[in-house]
Amino acid sequence: MSFPPNLSPPLTFAESDKSPLSIRAKALVFVDPRSRQLRERAEALAPGNQALLIRGETGTGKELLARYIHRHSERGGLFVAVSSGAISPQWGEAELFGHVAGAHVGGASSRAGWFGSANGGTLYLDEIADLPRPLQGKLLAALETRELYRVGAGQALPVDVRLVAASSIDLARAVAAGTFDERLYAYLGDGLLELPALRQRVGDILPLAEYFLGSHAQRLGLAIPPISSAAQSVLEAHPWPGNTRELENVIHFALLLAGSAEIGAEHLQLPGTP
């Protein structure tokens, strides 16, 4: 159950990108044939400046895939990750595009905004459907014209930002419902990357389980226990509605129950197990 020598190790977050409160998927592998196809498409799209849309269920590792694309691109700037749902409807334009000093209350100094921070690099907008509707059109305008207006500024600034967006919902339905800009959807549509749910890439399950087992065992100061054949079968058969995040939680809890003993099906605490 170790990684095949011809395959890359899991994609994970660097120490500087980790958060103890994060609920993101913390690892992504390309072992299953569907995952390998995804990696090939990602690597093919990485060198250009085309905007991309990563679509996949919550907990599948969309941000990790976006970071992988950035690392394989030719862009020397920063990778800036932003949760669209955290952008304020009231101050969103200033957060996204920046503002000049004195542009609004509390804005005593100028700020580059997320776009300015990602200039020359990649701006990752997680759950882009949560971006306030008025900002969607302004985002598209900045991407198409490659310039932006900071709040309070009278002159446009040139900007070179590649957008990689992510969504766990079908944006076509959001367009039909009137909650997502049709033009922005069309702009993103040519660069679509589908990240399959974990249950659709069964070949990734055991390598991920091994990675999480080793990671948590090391953190707890335990020897890495083996996973029994029965437990392996249970892991591969489970539908994983919570995807990689759920798998990590299950493995972590199983390790706490089993200690350094072999992890059996009973330690997984999944439906259908003893």
Structure-token pair, residue 110? 């100028």
State the residue for tokens 């390598």.
207
CB atoms within 10 A of CB 20: 4
Q: What is the pLDDT of residues 42-89, one digit of tens each?
A: 999 999 899 999 999 999 999 999 999 999 998 999 999 999 998 888
Q: What is the pLDDT of residues 217-236, one digit of tens each?
A: 999 999 999 999 999 999 99
pTM score of the predicted model = 0.90
| 33-198 matches 199-268 in fold | no
**Domain boundaries in the chain?**
33-198, 199-268
**H or E element: which one contains 9?**
none
Question: How distant, in Å, are the alpha carbons of 2, 31, 86, 210, 233 from that of 226?
Answer: 11, 20, 41, 9, 14
Burial grade of 64 (CB within 10 A; 0-12, 13-18, 19 or more): buried
Q: What is the CATH number of domain 199-268?
A: 1.10.8.60
Q: What is the pLDDT of residues 117-138, one digit of tens each?
A: 999 999 999 999 999 998 999 9
Domain over 33-198 is classified CATH 3.10.20.30 = no
Q: What is the largest CA-CA distance in the chain?
A: 68
User: What b/e readout covers 153-167, taking b as 16+ CB neighbours within 10 angstroms?
Assistant: eeeebebebbbbbbb
- Give the whole-number percent of the chain exceeding pLDDT 90: 70
Q: What is the pLDDT of residues 136-178, one digit of tens each?
A: 999 999 999 998 877 665 677 889 999 999 999 999 999 999 9
Distance CA 54, CA 44 (A): 14
234 near 200, Cβ under 8 Å? Answer: no
